[in-house]
Amino acid sequence: MTDGETVFLGRHFRTAEPIELRCRSDVIAEVRPAPAAAQLRGWLSPGFVDIQSNGYNGQEFSSPVLTVEKVAAIVDFQSSFGVTRFLPTVTTASSETIIHSVRTIAEACRQSAGIANIAVGIHVEGPYISREDGARGAHPLAHCRPPCWDEFQRFQEAAEGRIRLLTLSPEYAEAPDFIRRATDSGVVIALGHMTANSAQIKAAVDAGARLSTHLGNGAHRMLRRHPNYLWDQMAEDRLHASLIVDGHHLPPEVVKTIVRAKSPERCLLVSDFSGLAGLPPGRYDTELCELEILADGRLVIAGQDQLLAGASQPIGVGIAKVMDFAAVSLSTAVDMATRHPAELLGLPIVELAAGQPGEVVHFDLVETDHGRRLDVLATACAGSVITF
Protein backbone atom coordinates (compact mmCIF):
# COMPACT_ATOMS: atom_id res chain seq x y z
CA MET A 1 0.00 0.00 0.00
CA THR A 2 1.38 3.42 -0.98
CA ASP A 3 -0.21 6.86 -0.54
CA GLY A 4 -3.60 5.39 0.33
CA GLU A 5 -3.48 3.01 -2.63
CA THR A 6 -3.35 -0.79 -2.45
CA VAL A 7 -2.03 -2.88 -5.32
CA PHE A 8 -3.10 -6.50 -5.80
CA LEU A 9 -1.36 -8.84 -8.23
CA GLY A 10 -3.06 -12.11 -9.14
CA ARG A 11 -5.16 -13.92 -11.69
CA HIS A 12 -8.66 -12.78 -12.55
CA PHE A 13 -11.09 -15.38 -11.17
CA ARG A 14 -13.10 -15.38 -14.39
CA THR A 15 -10.47 -15.21 -17.13
CA ALA A 16 -7.31 -16.47 -15.35
CA GLU A 17 -5.50 -13.51 -16.89
CA PRO A 18 -2.71 -11.97 -14.76
CA ILE A 19 -3.95 -8.57 -13.56
CA GLU A 20 -2.85 -5.65 -11.47
CA LEU A 21 -5.75 -4.22 -9.47
CA ARG A 22 -5.46 -0.92 -7.61
CA CYS A 23 -7.84 0.08 -4.82
CA ARG A 24 -7.90 3.71 -3.76
CA SER A 25 -10.00 4.61 -0.75
CA ASP A 26 -13.14 2.43 -1.05
CA VAL A 27 -13.14 2.18 -4.86
CA ILE A 28 -11.36 0.06 -7.46
CA ALA A 29 -9.26 2.69 -9.20
CA GLU A 30 -7.71 0.63 -12.00
CA VAL A 31 -7.55 -2.90 -13.39
CA ARG A 32 -4.95 -3.62 -16.04
CA PRO A 33 -2.75 -6.49 -17.27
CA ALA A 34 -0.04 -7.31 -14.77
CA PRO A 35 3.51 -6.27 -15.70
CA ALA A 36 5.44 -9.10 -17.32
CA ALA A 37 7.94 -9.23 -14.45
CA ALA A 38 5.30 -9.14 -11.71
CA GLN A 39 5.42 -11.77 -9.01
CA LEU A 40 1.90 -13.22 -9.13
CA ARG A 41 0.21 -15.17 -6.40
CA GLY A 42 -3.30 -16.52 -6.26
CA TRP A 43 -6.59 -15.19 -7.55
CA LEU A 44 -8.61 -11.99 -7.34
CA SER A 45 -12.38 -11.83 -7.12
CA PRO A 46 -15.15 -9.66 -5.66
CA GLY A 47 -15.64 -10.10 -1.92
CA PHE A 48 -17.81 -12.97 -0.82
CA VAL A 49 -21.46 -12.46 0.19
CA ASP A 50 -22.66 -14.78 2.98
CA ILE A 51 -26.42 -14.61 3.58
CA GLN A 52 -26.50 -17.08 6.48
CA SER A 53 -24.10 -16.53 9.36
CA ASN A 54 -25.39 -17.18 12.89
CA GLY A 55 -22.41 -15.84 14.85
CA TYR A 56 -18.79 -16.71 15.58
CA ASN A 57 -16.21 -17.36 18.27
CA GLY A 58 -18.67 -18.33 20.99
CA GLN A 59 -21.38 -15.73 20.32
CA GLU A 60 -24.69 -16.26 18.53
CA PHE A 61 -26.58 -13.35 17.01
CA SER A 62 -29.75 -14.92 18.40
CA SER A 63 -29.15 -14.24 22.07
CA PRO A 64 -30.77 -12.30 24.91
CA VAL A 65 -27.30 -11.08 25.92
CA LEU A 66 -26.19 -9.84 22.49
CA THR A 67 -24.55 -6.40 22.65
CA VAL A 68 -23.37 -3.89 20.08
CA GLU A 69 -19.80 -4.72 21.04
CA LYS A 70 -20.39 -8.43 20.40
CA VAL A 71 -21.90 -7.65 17.00
CA ALA A 72 -18.84 -5.56 16.15
CA ALA A 73 -16.51 -8.37 17.20
CA ILE A 74 -18.26 -10.86 14.89
CA VAL A 75 -18.20 -8.36 12.03
CA ASP A 76 -14.46 -7.88 12.53
CA PHE A 77 -13.87 -11.56 11.75
CA GLN A 78 -15.57 -11.40 8.32
CA SER A 79 -12.55 -10.11 6.40
CA SER A 80 -10.55 -13.17 7.41
CA PHE A 81 -13.09 -15.26 5.48
CA GLY A 82 -13.01 -13.00 2.40
CA VAL A 83 -16.55 -11.84 3.25
CA THR A 84 -17.31 -8.20 2.49
CA ARG A 85 -21.10 -8.36 2.82
CA PHE A 86 -23.19 -10.68 4.98
CA LEU A 87 -26.51 -11.16 6.74
CA PRO A 88 -26.27 -11.67 10.49
CA THR A 89 -28.72 -14.51 11.05
CA VAL A 90 -31.11 -14.68 13.98
CA THR A 91 -32.63 -18.10 14.59
CA THR A 92 -35.73 -19.48 16.29
CA ALA A 93 -36.25 -18.13 19.81
CA SER A 94 -38.83 -16.33 21.89
CA SER A 95 -40.29 -13.13 20.49
CA GLU A 96 -38.42 -11.17 23.15
CA THR A 97 -35.05 -12.68 22.21
CA ILE A 98 -35.57 -12.13 18.48
CA ILE A 99 -36.60 -8.51 19.06
CA HIS A 100 -33.58 -7.90 21.28
CA SER A 101 -31.24 -9.52 18.74
CA VAL A 102 -32.42 -7.65 15.65
CA ARG A 103 -32.63 -4.37 17.59
CA THR A 104 -29.03 -4.78 18.75
CA ILE A 105 -27.80 -5.54 15.23
CA ALA A 106 -29.65 -2.49 13.91
CA GLU A 107 -28.16 -0.33 16.65
CA ALA A 108 -24.67 -1.56 15.79
CA CYS A 109 -25.26 -0.59 12.15
CA ARG A 110 -26.57 2.81 13.20
CA GLN A 111 -23.54 3.47 15.37
CA SER A 112 -20.96 2.35 12.80
CA ALA A 113 -20.98 2.94 9.05
CA GLY A 114 -18.29 0.29 8.77
CA ILE A 115 -20.56 -2.33 10.32
CA ALA A 116 -23.50 -1.18 8.19
CA ASN A 117 -21.40 -1.52 5.01
CA ILE A 118 -20.73 -5.19 5.79
CA ALA A 119 -23.89 -6.24 7.63
CA VAL A 120 -26.17 -5.34 4.73
CA GLY A 121 -29.33 -6.82 6.22
CA ILE A 122 -30.62 -9.41 8.65
CA HIS A 123 -31.71 -12.98 7.97
CA VAL A 124 -34.32 -14.34 10.36
CA GLU A 125 -34.34 -18.14 10.15
CA GLY A 126 -37.50 -19.17 11.93
CA PRO A 127 -39.35 -19.10 14.24
CA TYR A 128 -42.07 -20.02 11.72
CA ILE A 129 -40.76 -23.51 11.01
CA SER A 130 -41.85 -27.11 11.52
CA ARG A 131 -42.16 -28.48 15.04
CA GLU A 132 -41.23 -32.02 13.94
CA ASP A 133 -37.95 -33.59 14.98
CA GLY A 134 -35.47 -33.72 12.13
CA ALA A 135 -37.19 -31.01 10.12
CA ARG A 136 -36.61 -28.37 12.76
CA GLY A 137 -32.96 -29.35 13.13
CA ALA A 138 -31.41 -27.77 16.24
CA HIS A 139 -34.09 -25.08 16.52
CA PRO A 140 -35.81 -25.24 19.93
CA LEU A 141 -39.20 -26.94 19.82
CA ALA A 142 -40.70 -24.57 22.38
CA HIS A 143 -40.41 -21.62 19.99
CA CYS A 144 -41.35 -23.17 16.63
CA ARG A 145 -44.71 -21.70 15.60
CA PRO A 146 -46.94 -20.70 12.67
CA PRO A 147 -46.25 -17.41 10.89
CA CYS A 148 -47.78 -14.33 12.45
CA TRP A 149 -47.72 -11.10 10.43
CA ASP A 150 -48.29 -8.84 13.44
CA GLU A 151 -45.37 -10.43 15.28
CA PHE A 152 -43.12 -10.16 12.24
CA GLN A 153 -44.00 -6.48 11.95
CA ARG A 154 -42.70 -6.07 15.50
CA PHE A 155 -39.49 -7.85 14.47
CA GLN A 156 -39.07 -5.54 11.47
CA GLU A 157 -39.78 -2.43 13.52
CA ALA A 158 -37.14 -3.44 16.07
CA ALA A 159 -34.74 -4.14 13.20
CA GLU A 160 -35.37 -0.67 11.76
CA GLY A 161 -36.41 -2.31 8.48
CA ARG A 162 -33.17 -4.26 8.09
CA ILE A 163 -34.69 -7.76 7.80
CA ARG A 164 -34.02 -8.71 4.17
CA LEU A 165 -34.50 -12.48 4.31
CA LEU A 166 -36.85 -14.73 6.28
CA THR A 167 -36.81 -18.53 6.31
CA LEU A 168 -40.10 -20.28 7.11
CA SER A 169 -41.91 -23.55 6.54
CA PRO A 170 -44.77 -23.46 4.01
CA GLU A 171 -46.66 -26.20 5.87
CA TYR A 172 -48.80 -23.75 7.84
CA ALA A 173 -52.18 -22.52 6.58
CA GLU A 174 -51.06 -18.95 7.31
CA ALA A 175 -47.97 -19.25 5.09
CA PRO A 176 -49.23 -18.11 1.63
CA ASP A 177 -50.81 -14.89 2.91
CA PHE A 178 -47.79 -14.16 5.09
CA ILE A 179 -45.43 -14.73 2.15
CA ARG A 180 -47.42 -12.36 -0.07
CA ARG A 181 -47.33 -9.63 2.57
CA ALA A 182 -43.63 -10.08 3.26
CA THR A 183 -42.75 -10.13 -0.42
CA ASP A 184 -44.80 -6.99 -1.04
CA SER A 185 -42.85 -5.31 1.79
CA GLY A 186 -39.52 -6.14 0.09
CA VAL A 187 -38.49 -9.13 2.24
CA VAL A 188 -37.17 -12.19 0.40
CA ILE A 189 -38.84 -15.40 1.61
CA ALA A 190 -36.95 -18.67 1.81
CA LEU A 191 -38.39 -22.10 2.53
CA GLY A 192 -36.75 -24.44 5.01
CA HIS A 193 -37.10 -26.68 8.06
CA MET A 194 -40.39 -28.06 6.75
CA THR A 195 -42.80 -30.96 6.56
CA ALA A 196 -44.67 -29.38 3.65
CA ASN A 197 -46.30 -31.33 0.87
CA SER A 198 -46.15 -30.59 -2.86
CA ALA A 199 -49.26 -28.40 -2.88
CA GLN A 200 -48.05 -26.33 0.06
CA ILE A 201 -44.66 -25.74 -1.56
CA LYS A 202 -46.30 -24.70 -4.82
CA ALA A 203 -48.64 -22.34 -2.98
CA ALA A 204 -45.67 -20.76 -1.21
CA VAL A 205 -43.78 -20.23 -4.46
CA ASP A 206 -46.90 -18.87 -6.16
CA ALA A 207 -47.12 -16.40 -3.25
CA GLY A 208 -43.55 -15.23 -3.86
CA ALA A 209 -41.06 -17.51 -2.07
CA ARG A 210 -37.73 -17.47 -3.93
CA LEU A 211 -35.16 -19.57 -2.07
CA SER A 212 -34.67 -22.95 -0.42
CA THR A 213 -32.57 -22.49 2.70
CA HIS A 214 -29.64 -24.96 2.97
CA LEU A 215 -31.41 -27.44 0.69
CA GLY A 216 -30.82 -31.03 1.80
CA ASN A 217 -30.38 -30.08 5.45
CA GLY A 218 -32.90 -29.25 8.16
CA ALA A 219 -34.75 -32.36 6.97
CA HIS A 220 -36.05 -35.64 8.36
CA ARG A 221 -33.53 -38.47 8.55
CA MET A 222 -36.05 -40.75 6.77
CA LEU A 223 -38.19 -39.51 3.86
CA ARG A 224 -40.83 -41.03 1.65
CA ARG A 225 -39.20 -42.05 -1.62
CA HIS A 226 -41.49 -39.80 -3.67
CA PRO A 227 -43.02 -37.35 -3.59
CA ASN A 228 -41.13 -35.48 -0.91
CA TYR A 229 -40.12 -31.89 -0.24
CA LEU A 230 -36.57 -32.31 -1.55
CA TRP A 231 -37.69 -33.37 -5.03
CA ASP A 232 -40.37 -30.66 -5.04
CA GLN A 233 -37.82 -27.94 -4.30
CA MET A 234 -35.22 -29.25 -6.73
CA ALA A 235 -37.83 -29.38 -9.50
CA GLU A 236 -39.19 -25.88 -8.83
CA ASP A 237 -37.37 -23.56 -11.23
CA ARG A 238 -38.60 -20.46 -9.42
CA LEU A 239 -36.64 -21.41 -6.31
CA HIS A 240 -32.93 -20.80 -5.89
CA ALA A 241 -31.10 -23.03 -3.42
CA SER A 242 -28.54 -22.17 -0.80
CA LEU A 243 -26.07 -24.94 0.00
CA ILE A 244 -23.69 -25.67 2.87
CA VAL A 245 -20.80 -27.31 1.02
CA ASP A 246 -18.44 -27.87 3.92
CA GLY A 247 -17.85 -31.59 3.38
CA HIS A 248 -20.08 -32.48 6.35
CA HIS A 249 -23.60 -31.26 5.66
CA LEU A 250 -24.02 -32.79 2.20
CA PRO A 251 -22.22 -35.75 0.59
CA PRO A 252 -20.39 -34.92 -2.66
CA GLU A 253 -22.94 -36.87 -4.72
CA VAL A 254 -25.81 -34.87 -3.25
CA VAL A 255 -24.07 -31.57 -3.96
CA LYS A 256 -23.47 -32.65 -7.55
CA THR A 257 -27.09 -33.76 -7.96
CA ILE A 258 -28.56 -30.55 -6.55
CA VAL A 259 -26.28 -28.30 -8.61
CA ARG A 260 -27.16 -30.19 -11.77
CA ALA A 261 -30.89 -30.26 -10.98
CA LYS A 262 -31.13 -26.60 -10.02
CA SER A 263 -28.37 -25.42 -12.41
CA PRO A 264 -25.37 -23.51 -11.06
CA GLU A 265 -27.17 -20.22 -11.82
CA ARG A 266 -29.84 -21.04 -9.23
CA CYS A 267 -27.40 -22.17 -6.52
CA LEU A 268 -25.62 -20.08 -3.93
CA LEU A 269 -23.22 -20.91 -1.12
CA VAL A 270 -23.57 -20.10 2.57
CA SER A 271 -21.40 -20.80 5.58
CA ASP A 272 -24.29 -21.26 8.04
CA PHE A 273 -21.71 -20.43 10.70
CA SER A 274 -22.73 -21.37 14.21
CA GLY A 275 -21.83 -19.09 17.07
CA LEU A 276 -19.43 -21.86 18.14
CA ALA A 277 -17.47 -21.65 14.88
CA GLY A 278 -13.89 -20.65 15.53
CA LEU A 279 -13.69 -22.48 18.86
CA PRO A 280 -11.53 -25.61 19.43
CA PRO A 281 -12.97 -29.13 19.56
CA GLY A 282 -14.87 -29.94 22.73
CA ARG A 283 -18.27 -29.77 24.42
CA TYR A 284 -20.04 -26.48 24.96
CA ASP A 285 -23.14 -25.58 26.96
CA THR A 286 -25.37 -23.24 24.96
CA GLU A 287 -28.75 -21.62 25.43
CA LEU A 288 -30.07 -24.28 23.03
CA CYS A 289 -28.50 -27.48 24.41
CA GLU A 290 -25.10 -29.08 24.88
CA LEU A 291 -23.21 -29.05 21.60
CA GLU A 292 -19.90 -30.56 20.56
CA ILE A 293 -17.25 -29.65 18.01
CA LEU A 294 -15.62 -32.85 16.79
CA ALA A 295 -11.99 -33.18 15.78
CA ASP A 296 -12.94 -33.15 12.07
CA GLY A 297 -14.73 -29.79 12.46
CA ARG A 298 -18.31 -31.08 12.57
CA LEU A 299 -20.61 -29.30 15.00
CA VAL A 300 -23.12 -31.74 16.48
CA ILE A 301 -25.54 -32.20 19.33
CA ALA A 302 -23.27 -33.56 22.05
CA GLY A 303 -22.93 -37.30 22.57
CA GLN A 304 -23.29 -38.49 18.97
CA ASP A 305 -21.79 -37.74 15.57
CA GLN A 306 -24.73 -37.59 13.15
CA LEU A 307 -27.11 -34.79 14.18
CA LEU A 308 -25.49 -31.57 12.97
CA ALA A 309 -26.19 -28.32 14.79
CA GLY A 310 -24.74 -25.72 12.47
CA ALA A 311 -21.51 -25.29 10.59
CA SER A 312 -17.99 -24.28 11.49
CA GLN A 313 -16.34 -23.74 8.09
CA PRO A 314 -16.22 -20.41 6.18
CA ILE A 315 -17.83 -19.84 2.81
CA GLY A 316 -14.47 -20.15 1.03
CA VAL A 317 -14.45 -23.84 1.95
CA GLY A 318 -17.68 -24.15 -0.01
CA ILE A 319 -16.11 -22.50 -3.07
CA ALA A 320 -13.27 -25.02 -3.12
CA LYS A 321 -15.45 -28.04 -2.38
CA VAL A 322 -18.23 -27.24 -4.85
CA MET A 323 -15.53 -27.20 -7.53
CA ASP A 324 -14.46 -30.69 -6.44
CA PHE A 325 -17.93 -32.11 -5.78
CA ALA A 326 -19.90 -30.68 -8.71
CA ALA A 327 -17.08 -30.19 -11.26
CA VAL A 328 -17.83 -26.48 -11.72
CA SER A 329 -15.25 -23.88 -12.68
CA LEU A 330 -13.68 -21.38 -10.29
CA SER A 331 -15.66 -18.62 -11.97
CA THR A 332 -18.93 -20.46 -11.41
CA ALA A 333 -18.08 -21.32 -7.80
CA VAL A 334 -17.18 -17.71 -7.00
CA ASP A 335 -20.42 -16.52 -8.61
CA MET A 336 -22.27 -18.83 -6.19
CA ALA A 337 -20.69 -16.90 -3.31
CA THR A 338 -20.88 -13.40 -4.80
CA ARG A 339 -23.16 -12.63 -7.74
CA HIS A 340 -25.97 -15.08 -7.00
CA PRO A 341 -26.66 -14.08 -3.37
CA ALA A 342 -26.37 -10.39 -4.29
CA GLU A 343 -28.86 -10.81 -7.14
CA LEU A 344 -31.28 -12.68 -4.88
CA LEU A 345 -31.29 -9.86 -2.35
CA GLY A 346 -31.25 -7.02 -4.87
CA LEU A 347 -27.79 -5.86 -3.79
CA PRO A 348 -25.36 -4.18 -6.20
CA ILE A 349 -23.26 -6.63 -8.21
CA VAL A 350 -19.55 -5.95 -7.75
CA GLU A 351 -17.25 -6.50 -10.73
CA LEU A 352 -13.48 -6.24 -10.92
CA ALA A 353 -13.53 -2.98 -12.86
CA ALA A 354 -12.53 0.64 -12.34
CA GLY A 355 -15.14 2.64 -10.47
CA GLN A 356 -16.63 -0.39 -8.73
CA PRO A 357 -16.73 -0.67 -4.92
CA GLY A 358 -13.40 -1.71 -3.45
CA GLU A 359 -14.69 -5.09 -2.24
CA VAL A 360 -11.96 -7.48 -3.30
CA VAL A 361 -10.62 -10.77 -1.98
CA HIS A 362 -7.16 -12.13 -2.85
CA PHE A 363 -6.93 -15.88 -2.30
CA ASP A 364 -4.94 -19.00 -3.05
CA LEU A 365 -6.39 -22.28 -4.28
CA VAL A 366 -4.18 -25.06 -2.97
CA GLU A 367 -4.29 -28.65 -4.18
CA THR A 368 -4.16 -31.14 -1.29
CA ASP A 369 -4.58 -34.90 -0.89
CA HIS A 370 -8.17 -34.19 0.16
CA GLY A 371 -9.06 -31.82 -2.66
CA ARG A 372 -8.78 -28.08 -3.11
CA ARG A 373 -8.36 -25.64 -0.22
CA LEU A 374 -9.06 -21.91 -0.41
CA ASP A 375 -6.76 -19.67 1.65
CA VAL A 376 -7.65 -15.98 2.00
CA LEU A 377 -4.55 -13.80 1.56
CA ALA A 378 -6.11 -10.34 1.83
CA THR A 379 -9.51 -8.65 1.85
CA ALA A 380 -10.32 -5.10 0.82
CA CYS A 381 -13.58 -3.67 2.13
CA ALA A 382 -14.96 -0.23 2.93
CA GLY A 383 -11.63 1.47 2.36
CA SER A 384 -9.49 -0.83 4.49
CA VAL A 385 -7.27 -3.74 3.49
CA ILE A 386 -6.41 -6.60 5.82
CA THR A 387 -3.78 -9.19 4.92
CA PHE A 388 -3.43 -12.67 6.40
Report the alpha-carbon distance of residue 187 to residue 162 in Å, rounded.
Answer: 9
Q: What is the CATH number of the domain that holds 198?
A: 3.20.20.140
Pairing of strands 5-12, 282-285: unpaired
Residues 146 and 73 in one domain: yes
Alpha helices in 159-300 (DSSP H): 175-184, 198-207, 229-235, 252-262
Q: What is the pLDDT of residues 123-173, one digit of tens each?
A: 999 999 999 999 998 899 999 999 999 999 999 999 999 999 999 999 999
| Residues 159, 120 contacting (CB under 8 angstroms) | no
3 class by beta-carbon count within 10 Å (0-12 exposed, 13-18 middle, 19+ buried):
exposed
Residues 18 and 112 in one domain: no
In order of 13, 108, 166, 271, the CA distances from 319 in angstroms are: 12, 29, 24, 10
DSSP H or E run through 323: helix 315-326
| Residues 380, 359 contacting (CB under 8 angstroms) | yes
In order of 32, 234, 283, 301, the CA distances from 220 in angstroms are: 51, 16, 25, 16
- Give the phi and the psi of residue 25 in degrees, each rounded to 5: 60, -125
DSSP H or E run through 341: helix 339-345
| Residues 242, 51 contacting (CB under 8 angstroms) | yes
Q: What is the pLDDT of residues 245-286, one digit of tens each?
A: 999 999 999 999 999 999 999 999 999 999 999 999 999 988
Residues 370 and 256 in one domain: no
Q: What is the CATH number of the domain that holds 21?
A: 2.30.40.10
pLDDT of 2: 45
Residues 313 and 356 in one domain: no
Q: What is the pLDDT of residues 311-328, one digit of tens each?
A: 999 999 999 999 999 999
Residues 109 and 134 in one domain: yes
Give the residue from 265, 242, 244 showing the smallest Cα distance to 335. 265
Cβ within 8 Å of residue 349, ≥6 positions away: 339, 342, 343
Q: What is the average pLDDT score of the chain?
A: 95
Give the residue from 248, 251, 291 showing the smallest Cα distance to 272. 248
How many H-runs (helices) and E-runs (strands) does the chain carry? 11, 20
Residues 104 and 36 in one domain: no
Looking at the DSSP bridge assignments, the partners of residue 190 are 167, 211
pLDDT of 271: 98
pLDDT of 319: 98
How confident is the model over 354-365, as a mean pLDDT? Answer: 97
Residue 38 has pLDDT above 90, yes or no: no
Residues 156 and 270 in one domain: yes
In one letter, which amino acid is 101? S
Residues 92 and 10 in one domain: no
**Cα end-to-end distance, the chain, whole Å:** 15
pLDDT of 288: 67
Number of domains making up the chain: 2
Residues 326 and 234 in one domain: yes
Residues 12 and 157 in one domain: no
Residues 37 and 171 in one domain: no
Residues 21 and 101 in one domain: no
Q: Which domain holds residue 21?
A: 5-45+352-387
